[in-house]
Structure formats: structure tokens, C-alpha cells
Structure 1
Amino acid sequence: MSLIPLASHFDGDFVIKLLPVDSEDTMDQVADAAKVNAIGIHVPDQPDKTVRVRKQGNADPFPREMTVAASGLEATECIELYFE
């Protein structure tokens, strides 16, 4: 278990934010952490939708149960979060 800082951009937000996550966090846990800094601040909530995580520039999201370590993401890489 180790702390990994990721750059995160939530769809609809105009700010890229630094998001500290644990290497053993799942993508759902990453999404939950990112929601705290975006939803209700710069992004309106959509409670009936799931927030998904993908590597910046990729079309497909990571599997929801994949860990940060298994994803291959490295410190300061940018992830995109969006409502599915």
C-alpha cells in the first residue's frame, strides 16, 4: 500500500485537481474520492448515475473493481471521471 498522487479531471469541471489515492484503492474508491472535490462545487450531482474512471485520452473506463496498482497508473498521471 502506497500513496499515489493522480491528476484528476471531472467532466464538466474546469479545474484539474491533485487526488491522493492508495495503490490498493479500487476505481470505485477513486471515483468516490474525486466526487468530494467536484460534485456540488463545480459539477452538479447526478445521483442516479455511476461515476467511472478512465485514463486521460482513453475511450474505455477501467473496470470498477480494478486497483490503482493493477491499472498501471503512475504518479501525477491524469485520469478523467465522468457520469455513466
Structure 2
Amino acid sequence: MSVIFVRAVFDGDLMVRLIPIDDADSLAVVAEMIAHQAVGVMVPPQDRPIEVWHDENRLDPKETVQSTGIGPMDILRVAYA
């Protein structure tokens, strides 16, 4: 378990944020951490699942950060499905 920092943006938000994530976290947890910064503040809440994208690939929410190859300062895009 180690903490890395990634750059993250939620679709519809103008801010790119620096987010600390644990490499043992699931992508579902990471999506919620990123959404917490934007949904209800810059992006209206919606009753839809949230997806994480990395290098133009949608990631499985059950996978861990470490298993996907996400590294320090990578850019993650989070969006409603």
C-alpha cells in the first residue's frame, strides 16, 4: 500500500485536481473520491454510475489502482456512465 498523486478531472468541471490515492484502492473508491470534489459543487448530481477513464480506456471499477498501471501524476477522467 502506497499513496500516489494523480491529476483528475470530472466531466463538466473546469478544474483539474491533484488527488492522493492508495494503490490498493479499487477504481470505484477512486471514482467516489474524485466525484466528491466536483459533484454538487461544479457538476450537478445525477442518479447514474460513475466511470473512470485512463489513457482513453474505461477502467473496471472492481480493479485496483495497482492492477491498472496508473502511476504518479497520470491523468484520470471521471464521468457519469
Please report the TM-score for the alignment, with normalisation by the length of structure 1.
Answer: 0.92
Aligned to 2:69: 72
Q: Percent identity?
A: 28
Q: Which runs of 4+ in 1 moved over 4 A?
A: none
Partner Cα separation in structure 1 for residue 11 and residue 17 of structure 2? 12
* Offset, 1:36: 1.2
Aligned to 2:51: 52
Aligned length in residues: 81
Point out where structure 1 has 5 or more consecutive residues left out of the alignment.
none
Point out where structure 2 has 5 or more consecutive residues left out of the alignment.
none
Name the one with the larger strand percent.
2
Map 1:3-82; keep pairs closer than 5 Å. 3-46=3-46, 48-56=47-55, 58=56, 60-82=57-79
| 1:10-67 CA distance string (max 9 Å, x none) | 0000010011110000010001101111001111100x200100114x0x31011110
